[in-house]
Every structure is written in C-alpha cells, then in structure tokens.
Amino acid sequence: MKIAIIGPVHPYKGGIALHTTQLAHHLQSAGHDVDVISWKAQYPFFYPGEQFVPNGKPEMPVFQNSKRVLSWKNPAGWVVWAKRLKRYDQIIFIWWVPTVQGPVYTTMMKALGKSGPRKVILCHNLIQHSAGPADKLLTKKVLNMADNIIVHTNEMAELASEFTDTPIRVSAMPAHLPGKPSIKQLNEPAKSLLFFGLVRQYKGVDILLRSLANIPAIKLVVAGEMWGKQQTKLLALIDELKLNDRVELKPGYVPAEDIADLFAASDALVMPYRSATASNNPDLAFANGRPVIATRVGSLQKQIRDKVDGLLCKPNDVESLSSAINYFYQPGVANKLAANIPVVSSENDWHNYTQTITRID
C-alpha cells in the first residue's frame, strides 16, 4: 500500500517520535510505500524544552521520506496537505494529546472525505492523564471519523469503546530503543534506584520520594526533562523530606549515548506512575539488564512479571511502593530478578504490529 503517517519524527525528541520513525522503517521493510508528514515544530507553544535531540545528532536511523511541513498555526495548510494525501491508500494519524491533535485531525479528515484513503488512529494516549471536557469531546469526534483505531492495551480498548463504535484493534507496542543498550551484570547492589524519562505529575516521582523517606540508605537518580514546575516542586519536597544527600536530579534530555551508564549505575528502574497507557521504559530497562519496580497501571502490569523480573505495587500508595523497595533489597532478591530478565527482541513484535495496522477486514 501507499501509506502516509502524520506525526512527529526523529530527530525530534521523545518516545513517540522514536516510535513513529521505527514504524515508518518497518512498514517500508514490509514492502509498503511510506511517507511521514511531520511538523515544522513538534509542539505548538507550550513545550518547555528543546524539541530536537542535542545538536540535532540522530540517535537512530532517520526516515528519509519525511517532510516537516505542517504548521500548528496554519489550518489552511492542513487542508492543502490533506488533499495531497488523497492519492494514498492509508493515512495513520499518531494520537496522544487531543487538544493538540484534535483540531488538526478533524480538519484533515473532513478534507480527505469519507471515500478517501483509509484513516487509522494510532493511540499512544487516548485522552490526557488529566483530561477535561475538551479532551473528551475532541477524542470522540476524531475516533468517530476514523476507519480503524489501534491501541496498545485491552484497557485502552475498553476506554475507546466508550467514545466510538469504530472498529478497535489491540496490539502491544513493540520496543523502540534509543542508543545501544549495554548490559552490566548486577552483582552486589549499589543501593541506588533510577527514575528515567520526562517528569510529569502523573508519573508519581513525589510518591517515590515519600517512599524513599521511609527507607534508609537507598539513593535515587531522577534523570529526564522536567515538565512545567516539576523541578521546583521536587526540590522543595526533597528538602522537606531531608533527602538532599540521597537524591540526585539530572534535569534535561538524556542523550542516547548516556543511557547505558545510567542503568549500569543503578539496581533497578522505578516507575511509580499514578496512571499509564503503554511505555517503552520497561523494555529499555530490560535491554540494559535491570529489573523494574512499577505500579499496576496500563501496560506495566503485563510487561513486568511480579517477583520474576520486577515488582508490582499499588499506584498512588506510598506504603505499597515502600514495601516493594524494601522487598527488592532483601538478600538475593535483586540478583534473582535480574537473572530472570527477558531478552528484548522486537522484530517479530514489529511484524505483528504492522500487520495489525495495515490489515483490511
């Protein structure tokens, strides 16, 4: 088929840009004619940091058939590009922030028309983690204009069915890893934990800090960009909990070349999320030889096998997370979990994933 993907593409930063780029490569490898229609700027105006990877140096093979031509400020341009895309067989719309993508996608879908290319919504998030009425209204409108919806978990499928009767397909998100993972064997635990990735309120770093305050001697590194006022809030909480000597904040984007060293210096990745859909971070931790301590939300409760290759606990619960961390540091537990980490191999996963997206019923 001739396929167009509408979404961010590497070297824009972040997991969704990595995923879009990998998806384009795998669709092309499967024999499809693929173009990515991307944005002149990854986000409209509210994104707090730099939009490209440092120095614009790609951290994975870029997809050559990519065009950064869409402008958030130019609805007329959305219509122009939609009309150009009528010659495609399938359009894949990458969806994760309804208030951002919603107006664009409704405009483009109207311009494409009902008899135009097959329209697929690929959902990373269905609605925002703090969704308001506008999110829900736009989500319902866009989903009902599509021919198919792709989600990554059964929970997301159930939620999507509340908005639309459009056919919904579930396919687990394949690993899309930045950089070159390097496994350093976990021998004697370093008594250091890692939180990795964009820091937002729903990811529960404050819960992790409160849990750490209950446990002596364990250190924590928080590495990633800080959304909004998160850095100020976390610094205040660290001071309040008297954790200054045990918690290190490394604010800012982490280049792919630095990721392996971060994991090598830690005993486990901690994901104390209040809510989640699907995440690439468990695969990233496993690829770097580290177990994961996470909450039972979204895809995490399936990606991580409790007391096999990681530990699961209740979300938004300081005592539950404290218990999990204490259990992790009982003699022999960390090494046992590390020894059971699965091999992260995504080629077959990507094959199944692209088959699900392109299947015509």
| pLDDT(342) > 70 | yes
Strands 192-196 and 2-6: unpaired
Q: List own/partner pairs for 161-170 with CB under 8 A and 24 or more apart.
A: 163/126, 163/136, 163/139, 164/140, 167/361, 169/356, 169/357, 169/359
First to last CA, the chain: 15
Q: Which of 7-11, 88-92, 126-130, 218-222 has the weakest average pLDDT?
A: 126-130
pLDDT in tens, 184-226: 777 788 999 999 999 999 999 999 999 999 999 999 999 999 9
3-class secondary structure, 16: helix
Distance between CA atoms of 79 and 130, rounded to whole angstroms?
Answer: 30
Distance between CA atoms of 128 and 139, rounded to whole angstroms?
Answer: 10
Check residue 114 and give its pLDDT.
Answer: 87
Check residue 277 and give its pLDDT.
Answer: 85
Kindly list the structural domains of the chain, giving each domain's residue range(s) and its CATH number in brackets, ordered by start.
2-176+346-358 (3.40.50.2000), 192-339 (3.40.50.2000)
Strands 118-123 and 148-151: parallel
Following DSSP, what letter does each residue of 78-134 receive, concatenated? HHHHHHHGGGSSEEEEEES-HHHHHHHHHHHHHHH-TTSSEEEEEES-SS-TT--HH
HSE (CB half, 13 Å, CA atoms) of 6? 27
Task: Determine contact, residues 295/321, Cβ cutoff 8 Å.
Answer: yes
pLDDT in tens, 246-269: 999 999 989 888 999 999 999 999
Distance between CA atoms of 215 and 80, rounded to whole angstroms?
Answer: 58
Check residue 227 and give its pLDDT.
Answer: 86
201 secondary structure, DSSP code: G
**Alpha-carbon separation of residue 210 from 200, 224, 295, 312, 319 (angstroms):** 16, 19, 15, 17, 9
Of all residues in the chain, what percent carry a pLDDT higher than 70? 96
Check residue 131 and give its pLDDT.
Answer: 67
Locate tokens 């980490």: which residue? 341
C-alpha dihedral over 162, 168, 170, 175, to 10 degrees? -100
Compute the mean pLDDT over every residue in the chain, rounded to the nearest whole number: 92
In one-letter notation, the amino acid at residue 153 is: T
> Residue 295 belongs to what H/E stretch?
strand 292-295
pLDDT in tens, 153-165: 999 999 999 999 9
- The number of angstroms, rounded, from the C-alpha of 236 to the middle of its chain's C-alpha atoms is 27
Check residue 130 and give its pLDDT.
Answer: 65
Give the helix, strand, coil percentages of the chain, each rounded to 5.
40, 20, 45
**How many residues in total does the chain contain?**
361
pLDDT in tens, 266-317: 999 999 999 988 899 999 999 999 999 999 998 899 999 999 999 999 999 9
**What integer is the mean pLDDT of 50-70?**
86
Q: Output the six-digit token pair for 155.
A: 């929970």
| pLDDT(48) > 60 | no
Distance between CA atoms of 191 and 101, rounded to whole angstroms?
Answer: 42
Residues 6+ apart with CB under 8 A from 274: 129, 201, 202, 203, 204, 207, 295, 297, 315, 316
Of all residues in the chain, what percent carry a pLDDT higher than 90? 76
| pLDDT(53) > 80 | yes
Instruction: Identify which has the larger pLDDT, 334 or 348.
Output: 334
| pLDDT(46) > 70 | no
